[in-house]
Amino acid sequence: MGKPTPSAEPTSSLTVRDNRTGRSYNVPIVNNSVSATDFKAITAPPASGDREEDETEKGLRVADKGFLNTAVMRSQITYIDGDAGVLRYRGYPIEELAVHSSHLETAYLLIYGALPSKDQLNTFEYEVIHHGVVHSDAEDFFRSFRYDAHPMAMMTSALAYLGSYYNEANPSLQGQNLFTRGSKESLAVMDRQIYRLIGKATTLAAMAYRVRQGREFVTPPTGMSYTGSFLYQMDHIGEEKYVPNPVLEKALDTLFLLHADHELNASATTVLQTGSSLVDPYSAIAAGCASLYGPLHGGANEAVIRMLISIGSPDNVPAFIEAVKKREKVLSGFGHRVYKTSDPRSFIVRKTADEVFKITGKDELLETAMALHEAAMKDEYFIKRKLAPNVDFCGLIYRAMGFPLDFFPVLFAVPRVVGWLAHWRQMMLQEGGVKIWRPRQQIYVGAGKRAYVPIDERLPVTGLRETPSHIEHSG
């Protein structure tokens, strides 16, 4: 780049002409992508009106607020075609996995790249389940939270807290190539942390639930499935030979499978951003959990139920639809940053809901949800904007199963630990090693260089966003 382009360029390339200088540049196209660093060669002298901070002589920058069209790594894990409504884990359609697979089998697939043999799956399940027990000190840790602490605050804190037990998993203590060298010993250390994090995710979640209920904690049982053990830890209150309902156990396993990964979403990207500093995996996963906590991500299931409660009955749906069009109300559970048609997981959720409702009875909000779905799918306003139902309606299933509303994000975080670990492991073992994720720079639009003004000579700057708020103090 940076030289006049030959008369005949390779077909897999992009020719860019800089009208500021009249120079043309050839940018290679690989896997239908161009490297942002290639654009650094496109330089120009400062023009009239350019600021010193624009740094035109240091190369062209690529702006992409919110990462709308930026690929940060090469991945073999999950493929999404949002326009066609396609979601595949390692090449397998999500619809097939939901029917034929289980959450832990799919976890093995996402992390290691292939469906396991029977012996491989038995070993993996054994390791995950038997790594579910936490240190007895964890009981004091959970009891240190206020009675009304949000379960996601507890979950995020607990994941980070786990790392304090395992010095052998900390690159800051064992050397920064602990997880990147790819040796047999390194992979064994990595796998042990994978077992621990997946196995203990349900235990930590159950503890966050039970401390809110004022109940004693339950040691993870043996001889149960992953979701069976989870439900046991949450619901067992002394009954002899208690076992969770198998239909609810299977339904939760299916929902966990659907939520196991979703490519580089906000939380997965947070895990990789944090992990790129070569911090221990517990800190990286905790960071992902914190990202998932937000209402634009993992809190969406909760938002759907609150929306349906606010609507009330199906009779109120038309008025709600009109309020959404006028931007007076927010529509949750429809549309997706990625999918421009129906989320493929939403069809599986509906089928799963039917099975659950046979056991629990229909949720009173179901009719309102169905009326909203029918009205939105027929309305030109929503059709034009491609606002089809997404997977966030699975909150109706969680509600029917008796989970508290603010526990919904935890039910998203527990299975997503699998996807976070798959992406983290892939990055640790990628060709060329790990580079810390540090954007070249922001596009600085603030003040230029200015001299310090002594305090007695300054004019006060006022304004709602330019001054701190006045805070009232009690007692």
| pLDDT tens-digit readout, 152-209 | 999 999 999 999 999 999 999 999 999 999 999 999 999 999 999 999 999 999 999 9
Check 336, 343, 363, 373 and give the catalytic one.
336
Share of the chain above pLDDT 90, in %: 67
Mean pLDDT of 238-244: 88
Least confident of 151-155, 181-185, 450-454, 464-468: 464-468
Between helix 408-428 and helix 266-275 the angle, nearest 10°, is: 40
CA distances from 398 to 363, 395, 470 (A): 10, 5, 41
CA distances from 156 to 190, 200, 272, 458 (A): 21, 13, 16, 44
Residue 263 near residue 78 (C-beta atoms within 8 A): yes
pLDDT at 241: 86
Mean pLDDT of the chain: 90
Tens of pLDDT, residue by residue over 291-303, are 999 888 887 778 8
Residues 6+ apart with CB under 8 A from 328: none
Tens of pLDDT, residue by residue over 123-146, are 999 999 999 999 999 999 999 999
Which of 82-86, 209-213, 303-307 is modeled with the greatest confidence? 209-213
pLDDT at 222 over 60: yes
Tens of pLDDT, residue by residue over 32-86, are 999 988 998 999 999 988 998 889 999 998 888 888 888 888 999 999 988 888 9
What's the pLDDT band for 4 if we cut at 50, 70, 90?
Answer: very low
What's the pLDDT band for 389 if we cut at 50, 70, 90?
Answer: low
pLDDT at 344: 83
pLDDT at 337 over 70: no
pLDDT at 2 over 50: no
Active site residue 297: yes
Check 54, 297, 379, 406 and give the catalytic one.
297
Active site residue 406: no
Q: What is the pTM of this model?
A: 0.89
Provide the CB-side half-sphere exposure for 442 (13 A, CA): 3
Active site residue 470: no
What's the pLDDT band for 238 if we cut at 50, 70, 90?
Answer: confident
**d(C-alpha 466, C-alpha 457), whole Å:** 19
Check 259, 343, 392, 423 and give the catalytic one.
392
pLDDT at 341: 61
What's the pLDDT band for 1 if we cut at 50, 70, 90?
Answer: very low
In DSSP notation, 114-152 reads: S---HHHHHHHHHHHHHT----THHHHHHHTS-TT--HH
pLDDT at 336: 53
Residue with the bigger pLDDT between 224 and 306: it is: 224
Query: Would you give the distance in Å from CA 66 to the centre of its chain?
Result: 15
pLDDT at 338: 58
Residue 294 near residue 302 (C-beta atoms within 8 A): no
What's the pLDDT band for 239 if we cut at 50, 70, 90?
Answer: confident
What are the residues facing 334 on neighbouring strands?
389
